Amino acid sequence: MKIAIVNGPNLNLLGKREPGIYGNTTAEDCFHQLVSKYPQVQLVYFQSNVEGELINFLHANGFELDGIVLNAGAYTHTSIALRDAIAAITTPVVEVHISNVHAREEFRHVSMIAAKCVGVIAGLGMQGYGLAVEYFLGKQ
Ligand code: DQA
C-alpha cells in the first residue's frame, strides 16, 4: 500500500506557526511518526506553497497511489483548480485539517475540495493524518 501525505501552503512552518492553533509538532516529526507507526505502508511526503505544484503532484501520482491524505491549507477554501484535480484523478483523497475549521472564521467553513474527497477529518490535531492512513488501511 502506497500513500502520500500532501501538505499545502504554510504547513512547512508547522511547529513554529501559530502553535496555539497548530501545536508544536513539525511536519517532519509528524511524517516520521507515521513512518514508524505504519511500517507496512509505503509513505511519501510532499509539501508545496504553490497551488500548481500541488496540482502537478496530484496529476503525477493520483493514478498510482492507493491513497492521498491532503491538507490543502488555505487553498481548501479557494481552489477550484485543486477541486478539479482531485475529481480528475483515480486515487481517493482524504481532506485533513489540523484545526477545527468550523470553529474558526467563517471563510474557513467552506471547502472547495470536500465534495471531491472521500471524507474530511478536521480538528483532531496531527492525529488526523494517522486517522486518514488508518482509513486507507481499513479499505484493504
Ligand atoms: C488548515 C486550516 C486552514 O484554514 C488554514 O488555512 C491552514 C491550515 C488546518 O490544518 O487546520 O493553513 O488546513
> Where residue 19 sits, what CATH number does that domain have?
3.40.50.9100
How many domains is the chain built from? 1
User: Does the annotation list 84 as a binding residue?
Assistant: yes
What's the 3 CA to ligand 1 centre distance in angstroms?
A: 21
pLDDT of res. 139: 83
Active site residue 32: no
Strand-pairing partners, residue 7, are 47, 71
The continuous run of DSSP H or E covering 119 comes out as strand 119-122
Residue 106, burial from CB neighbour count under 10 angstroms (0-12, 13-18, 19+): exposed
C-alpha cell at 79: 481552489
59 is catalytic: no
Average pLDDT, the chain: 98
ipTM above 0.95, yes or no: yes
Q: Give the structural domain span for 70.
A: 2-138
In the predicted model, what is the mean pLDDT of residues 76-91? 98
> Could you tell me the pLDDT band of residue 140, with boundaries at 50, 70 and 90?
confident
Regarding the beta carbon of 108 and ligand 1, being less than 6 Å apart is answered: yes
- Classified as helix, coil or strand, 44 is strand
pTM: 0.97
